[in-house]
């Protein structure tokens, strides 16, 4: 059982982020919540008011001691029910500054918006998987549940074409902004506002194939026509529908934030999809990032098709 003492990231980890050009990362974790850095702004996410108060009292001094510039501190409560989520509020800093900022990850630039909803635009715990996509330079990438299209940016920076799919037009608009922020022409890529679950079979009928497919669905969603998606129940079928679009020697990422699922569940979904398509594959799980306790990081698994 973890104790309640906030655990700050070490100077060594901070130095490695600095060296690689990353300023979007956690700075502190505890059972009561966590704090993240996005450039010169910080976000405290708390479920326990004692953690929020500890950050109010100590985050500024810690940042100063670590040599990190701090303009503002935002806060958001981590409610038990997703419906109770709301945008962060400003605790410290200039209220007249725009709510938007820019954070960097291994040289990629991502727009952060503290007023655009509960999530601010980037999930730093997927850093390692984005780096793999960028390194692999897939010619054609399909990013399902794309949110602000951070995986698509990583793919497009490698020179390939990216198709981003999300129910939310607003998130895709933010995604276009992320392309522009990285010197990429959003007009040269596809942004599709649609229910991914409905789109997948249509793409298969059109014989579409991709070198890299990203599947990072929410824990629960209600798609077009009010149909409910539950990741625990539906991940295996989703993995199968996505694998059908993966071309020869292509790669498929399965990812989830669902607290009740682990890597073994993703491996089971992968095996089900591979068996149904009669394909062989290697599997690869990136190690958890150094700044996030393993039990809090997204669970992720790559299926690397052999044929």
Facing residues of 46 across strands?
33, 77
Q: Which is nearer to ligand SAM, 48 or 195 (CB)?
A: 195
Residue 255 CB, shortest distance to ligand SAM, in Å, is: 7
Which of 16, 92, 104, 168 binds ligand SAM (CB under 6 A)? It is: 168
Give the residue among 221, 24, 20, 255 at the shortest CA–CA distance from 121.
24
The reply to whether 166 sits near ligand SAM by the rule CB under 6 A is yes
Query: Residue 152 CB, nearest distance to ligand SAM (Å)?
Result: 9
CB nearer ligand SAM, residue 30 or residue 45: 45
CA distance 295 to 289: 11
Distance (Å, whole) CA 171 – CA 183: 19
Cβ nearer to ligand SAM, comparing 199 with 270: 199
Q: How many residues bind ligand SAM (CB under 6 A)?
A: 20
Question: What is the layout of strands, in order, in the sheet containing 24-30?
Answer: 7-8, 24-30, 33-38, 41-46, 72-77, 89-92
Using CB under 6 A, pick the residue from 151, 179, 210, 302 that binds ligand SAM. 151
Quick one: DSSP state of residue 288? P
Contact of 302 with 274, CB cutoff 8 Å: no
Q: How far does Cα 250 stand from its chain's mean position?
A: 21
Min dist CB 145 to ligand SAM, Å, is: 3
What CA–CA distance (Å, rounded) separates 111 from 269? 33
64 in helix, strand or coil? helix
Q: Which of 38, 62, 136, 147 binds ligand SAM (CB under 6 A)?
A: 147
Interatomic CA distance for residues 9 and 93, integer angstroms: 23
Q: Tell me which of 110, 145, 191, 210 binds ligand SAM, using CB under 6 A.
A: 145
Which listed residue (36, 216, 286, 291) binds ligand SAM by CB under 6 A?
216
Q: Does 286 bind ligand SAM (CB under 6 A)?
A: no
The answer to whether 150 contacts ligand SAM (rule: CB under 6 A) is: yes
- 243 makes contact with ligand SAM (CB under 6 A): no
Told to check if 110 binds ligand SAM by CB under 6 A, we report no
Round to whole Å and give the CA distance between 249 and 212. 9
Q: What is the 3-state secondary structure (H, E, C) of 153-218?
A: HHHHHCCCEEEEEECCHHHHHHHHHHHHHCCCCHHHCEEEECCHHHHHHHHHHCCCCEEEEEECCC
Q: What b/e sequence results for 169-184 when a residue is b if at least 16 CB atoms lie within 10 Å of its CB, and e otherwise? A: eebbebbbbbbeeeeb
Closest approach of Cβ 65 to ligand SAM, in Å? Answer: 31
Nearest approach, Cβ of residue 146 and ligand SAM (Å): 6
Instruction: Candidates 24-32, 36-44, 87-95, 141-149: pick the segment binding ligand SAM (CB under 6 A).
Output: 141-149
Among 45, 171, 178, 300, binds ligand SAM (CB under 6 A): 171
Among 45, 126, 141, 163, binds ligand SAM (CB under 6 A): 126
Specify the residue, 197 or 292, whose C-beta has the smaller distance to ligand SAM. Answer: 197
> At its nearest, how many Å lie between ligand SAM and the CB of residue 161?
18
To ligand SAM, the closest distance from the beta carbon of 35 in angstroms equals: 20
Interface residues with ligand SAM (CB under 6 A) are 123, 126, 145, 147-148, 150-151, 165-168, 171, 195-197, 216, 218, 221, 223, 229
């Amino acid at each position: 059982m973890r104790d309640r003492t906030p655990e700050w990231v070490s100077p060594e980890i901070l130095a490695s982020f600095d060296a690689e050009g990353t300023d979007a990362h956690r700075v502190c974790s505890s059972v009561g919540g966590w704090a993240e850095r996005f450039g010169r702004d910080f976000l405290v996410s708390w479920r326990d008011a004692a953690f929020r108060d500890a950050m109010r009292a100590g985050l500024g001094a810690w940042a100063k001691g670590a040599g990190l510039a701090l303009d503002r501190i935002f806060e958001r409560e981590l409610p038990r029910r997703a419906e109770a989520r709301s945008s962060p509020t400003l605790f410290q800093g200039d209220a007249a500054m725009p709510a938007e900022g820019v954070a960097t990850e291994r040289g990629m630039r991502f727009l952060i918006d503290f007023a655009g909803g509960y999530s601010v635009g980037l999930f730093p715990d997927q850093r390692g998987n984005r780096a793999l996509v960028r390194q692999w330079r897939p010619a054609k990438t399909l990013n399902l549940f794309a949110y602000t299209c951070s995986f698509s940016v990583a793919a497009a920076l490698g020179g390939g074409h990216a198709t981003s799919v999300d129910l939310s037009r607003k998130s895709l608009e933010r995604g276009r902004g992320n392309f522009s922020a990285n010197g990429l022409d959003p007009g040269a890529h596809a942004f599709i506002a649609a229910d991914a679950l409905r789109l997948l079979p249509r793409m298969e009928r059109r014989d579409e194939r991709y070198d890299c497919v990203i599947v990072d669905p929410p824990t629960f969603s209600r798609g077009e026509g009010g149909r409910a998606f539950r990741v625990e129940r539906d991940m295996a079928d989703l993995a199968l529908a996505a694998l059908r679009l993966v071309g020869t020697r292509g790669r498929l990422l399965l990812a989830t934030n669902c607290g009740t699922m682990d890597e073994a569940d993703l491996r089971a979904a992968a095996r089900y999809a591979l068996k149904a398509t009669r394909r062989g594959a290697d599997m690869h799980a990136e190690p958890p990032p150094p700044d996030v306790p393993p039990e809090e990081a997204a669970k992720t698994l790559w299926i690397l098709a052999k044929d």
